[in-house]
Amino acid sequence: MVFVFLVFLFTHLFSQQTVTGRIVDNDGINLSGVIIINMATDHKTYSNAEGAFSIEASQNDELRFVKEDFGRVSTRVLTDGNNPPLLVSLIPIPKEIEEVQIVKKLTGDLSKDSRIVAKVDKGEIVQQAVGLPQPIGKMREKPAEVKSVLLPMLLGSLNVQGVYDLISGKARKQKRQYKYDDLQEHISWIKNRVDEDYFTQAGIPAERISEFIEFSFLVKPQVRTYVKAKNLSGVLLRLEETIPLYVDRLKHSGKSE
């Protein structure tokens, strides 16, 4: 049984080849962050900053290219035994551009900021009601899980990519990277909505604002919960509690130096 499994595994692996290519838009500009999916194996990868990608595939496998706000493209690879680099062009999906209102950055005054947030939230509700539905979640390759790999094996189905991801440590690296990306996204969400003066006037140096926000996430996890809920007034209320703690740490660290 084990011998048959190993024969199947090595036959499948060595029948694959690496398909490479570059992805551009209709103006020839490189597109990063495009998801490339091998529909036969469910293996996924992303294009880099230069639009380049590489992915394992077997003869006649279908590759699908997906990016938000662009039309999907699919192509068959290795159909004639050759493996030339692909040049894939994605066409933007036309969208009607509505009038844009510029909202000033928040000042830190909770009563004023709460009213501004309420207006923004109502606008988003209207947009969802009259526009196209927004994508739910993030377009990410799901890291392999031990349960999702071992259970199918017990039932006679082999997830080759999942086994490789677990053994090579790729799944673990993906989880760490996603955790870091989410942290930076949540920090940016606050910085983009709260004026820098709000922090500096409280005694937080401009170059340490990101560090303070991350500190607040650790000391008061509710801050991040409010960020996920896009509740800025709740975020500001919790930041008011963590600012004195962080400023006090700065003072003590300065004395120790």
> Given CA atoms 45, 225, 105, 187 in this order, what sign does their dihedral have?
negative
The three-state secondary structure class of 220 is: coil
Note the pLDDT of residue 99.
47
Q: Which sequence spans correspond to the domains of the chain?
A: 12-92, 110-129+176-256
Task: Indicate whether 125 pLDDT > 60.
Answer: no
3-class DSSP assignment, residue 31: coil
The pLDDT > 90 percentage for the chain reads: 31
In this predicted structure, the answer to whether residue 48 has a pLDDT above a threshold of 90 is: yes
Q: Are 90 and 116 in contact (CB under 8 A)?
A: no
Q: Which residues contact 243 (CB under 8 A, 6 or more apart)?
A: 202, 203, 204, 212
CA atoms within 13 A on the CB side of 112: 9
* Mean of pLDDT values over 224-240: 89
* Cβ–Cβ under 8 Å, residues 246 and 215: yes
8 Å CB contact between 55 and 45: yes
The predicted-structure confidence for 81-112, as pLDDT tens digits, reads as follows: 667 899 999 999 876 554 444 445 555 555 55
pLDDT of residue 20: 94
pLDDT in tens, 152-188: 666 667 667 777 777 778 878 878 888 888 899 999 9
pLDDT at 178: 81
Measured CA to CA, the distance from residue 54 to residue 150 in angstroms comes to 27
**Centroid of chain to Cα 84:** 30
Confidence of residue 215 (pLDDT cuts 50, 70, 90): very high
Which long-range CB contacts under 8 A does 175-180 form with residues at least 24 apart?
A: 175/143, 178/140, 178/143
- Which CATH number does 12-92 carry? 2.60.40.1120
What is the per-residue pLDDT for 93?
A: 83
Predicted pLDDT at 106: 53
Tokens coding 14: 């060595």
Q: Is the pLDDT of residue 199 over 70?
A: yes
Q: How far is CA 242 from the centre of its chain?
A: 28
Mean pLDDT, rounded, of the chain: 77
Cα 52 to Cα 144: distance, rounded to the nearest angstrom: 24
For the segment 50-70, what is each residue's pLDDT rounded down to a tens digit?
Answer: 999 999 998 889 999 998 888
Q: What is the mean pLDDT of residues 42-57?
A: 92
Distances from the Cα of 95 to the Cαs of 54, 69, 167, 180, 231, in angstroms? 31, 9, 44, 32, 28
As a whole number of angstroms, the distance between CA 58 and CA 38 comes to 9
Q: Are strands 73-76 and 62-66 parallel, antiparallel or unpaired?
A: antiparallel
The arrangement of strands across the sheet holding 52-57 comes to 52-57, 17-25, 86-90
d(CA 57, CA 68): 24
Are 62 and 74 spatial neighbours (Cβ–Cβ below 8 Å)?
yes
